[in-house]
Structure 1
Amino acid sequence: MSVTEFAMVEELAFLVKDNLRCKHLVLSMEETFLNFLQDDSSHFDGILELQPMDAYNRLLLHRLADIFGFSHVSIGEGANRHLILERCPETSMYVCEPT
């Protein structure tokens, strides 16, 4: 993991550190992102469209998408605004090996 990638993870951890609901969102979406990356059969187009959510939760998931290297954009208006993620060559999973 590069210094920039580590800084992104650190920033996301800071944003959710005192908010249990946000921690749960990030952890559950991290699992969703991992499943999306591992399951080529159900997502053959490489696109994942998320449910509508408020601006702060979208911000958190934009940050998480950056960490995974997804291309991402918010679309829709008001209560229907949501993220669309797309796999790209930079998309990957980081596995930390024990030292």
Structure 2
Amino acid sequence: MIDDTKLNSDDELFLKELETVFIRFVDSGKEQFNLEPMNSYKRRLAHKLASQFELETESIGEDKERAVLLKKTPQTKIPTSRKVKLPRIDTGHETYYAKPGVQIVLRSDGSFGVPWKEKDGHLIDKRVIHDGVFRIRSNQIVCQDDSNW
């Protein structure tokens, strides 16, 4: 449990954004998800919040690249108090192009492109585009070889 009496407004915003990322991850077909690198305090908050979703967590990377890896478990669920209707970002069959090998991110505001140094909780999905072509379907970056292309 996170003691929100000790949180400042920046921490509360971070947790709200992170909660949105967790809900989208739990609702997705993915089994694991890497959060963006963050400082040790924010990683601690991420680990605590993940326990409420019954997600397994692991810190990965080193120094300024240290991040949290989320993994689903058989018990993973969205806590009842956190079930909210999230906007669905889906551009249908519209196809986008990127240089092969470039990482593309999908942000919570619906924008997408190469990563910036955005706040940790603003990303919904990220993926390296190997063949240079992708779509945005149901809050995910989808490539041609995916079943939901």
- Structure 1 length normalisation: TM-score? 0.75
Aligned residues: 81
Bigger-Rg structure (1/2):
2
Q: Residue 39 of structure 1 aligns with which residue?
A: 28
Q: Residue 57 of structure 1 aligns with which residue?
A: 42
Q: Residue 78 of structure 2 aligns with which residue?
A: 93
Change (3 A) 1:94 1:58: same
Q: Residue 11 of structure 2 aligns with which residue?
A: 22
Q: Residue 64 of structure 2 aligns with which residue?
A: 79
Gaps of at least 5 residues in structure 1 are: 1-7
- Structure 2 length normalisation: TM-score? 0.51
Greater relative contact order (Cα < 8 A, sep 6+): 1
SS at match of 2:80: coil
Mapped contact 1:12–1:64 kept (Cα < 8 A): no
Change (3 A) 1:65 1:15: farther
Please state how far the C-alpha of 1:15 moved relative to its aligned partner.
Answer: 4.2
Name the structure with the higher strand share. 2
Q: Alpha carbon RMSD of aligned pairs, Å?
A: 1.3
Please state how far the C-alpha of 1:63 moved relative to its aligned partner.
Answer: 0.3
Please state how far the C-alpha of 1:94 moved relative to its aligned partner.
Answer: 1.9
The one-letter code of the counterpart of 1:61 is A
Identity %: 28
Which of 63, 67, 82 aligns to 2:52? It is: 67
Counterpart-to-counterpart distance in 2, 1:13 and 1:25: 12
Change (3 A) 1:39 1:73: same
